[in-house]
Amino acid sequence: MASLGLNLDEQKAVDRFRKDVVEPSMTSLVILDFWAEWCGPCKALTPVLEKVAADYADKGVVLAKVNVDEEQFIASQFQVRSIPTVYALFQGQPVADLTNARSESQLKQTLDQLLAQLPIGGAAGEAKAEIAQFVAMGEQVLGEGDPERAAGIFAQVVEMAPEEAAAHAGLIRALAQAGRGEDAQAALAAAEAIPSVAGDASLAQARSALELLAERPDEGELSVFRQHAAENPTNHDVRLAYAEAAFAAGQRDAAADELLAMIEADREWNEG
């Protein structure tokens, strides 16, 4: 739910909704009930919702209620036109409109269908969400240019969840970016030895990272390219070769600096 341009009361409403509804929905299926004190049908439906939520609590289902009179801004965001209005939310997004499911059997039938399709499972669901957070953290650290730290995060996830393909792939890519080719190859072999991981599409990207690593020039080769570029400042082919080698070696800043320097020296270079 967007929070830009909100006044103070609206921001507080969003914060409450995030805490009471969105955060629980990250690991649970939330039955979101829009109601009001004066609404007779709402009061008739409440016991049904509470019973179903209690019966399905061990399956990862929780009930959250929003009073439309007290939380008018939230109700407007969901375009509530009449009450009771009931949604099922998962990971912050509506996944089903439960408004027409007024009986216990109808609600349970719909919930059974949703639970069969969504990765929800009480404590198991929480553990999966925690693992996903660690994988996302590893990807963020890797994207920020710290492959060694990212490798440490992914290695911990692999230890916690040996069948988490995304963690194996992240570990391989992080090791490759860190220049640890042998370790990356060993990590790939370990991943391919796990049947549920070996066929995962995420390993394809990891294999590509290893192939790039094999083509990566070592420091000695890169030094030669660097020296030639320094000795031939007007030879753009030589300088371009160094920039490409630096990029392949993972030194992206050096490659960018060299290309910018070439353009500044000759703005018509590579045109036409």
Contacts of residue 10, defined as CB under 8 A and 6 or more positions apart, other chains included, come to 73
Verify whether residue 39 is a known catalytic residue. Answer: yes
CA dist 159 → 99, 127, 152 (Å): 43, 14, 11
DSSP conformation letters of 76-123:
HHTT--SSSEEEEEETTEEEEE-TT--SHHHHHHHHHHHHHHS---TH
Catalytic residue among 29, 31, 32, 42: 42
Structure tokens at 57: 């609590």
Contacts of residue 217, defined as CB under 8 A and 6 or more positions apart, other chains included, come to 225, 245, 248, 249
Structure tokens at 190: 């370990």
Catalytic residue among 13, 30, 31, 39: 39
Q: For the chain, what is the radius of gyration of the CA atoms?
A: 27
Q: Which helix (DSSP H) or strand (DSSP E) does residue 69 occupy?
A: none
Verify whether residue 189 is a known catalytic residue. Answer: no
Structure tokens at 37: 């004190």
Query: Considering all CA atoms of the chain, what is the largest pairwise distance in Å, rounded to the nearest integer?
Result: 86
Residue 209 CA to residue 187 CA, distance in Å, equals 13
Which residues are the active-site residues?
39, 42
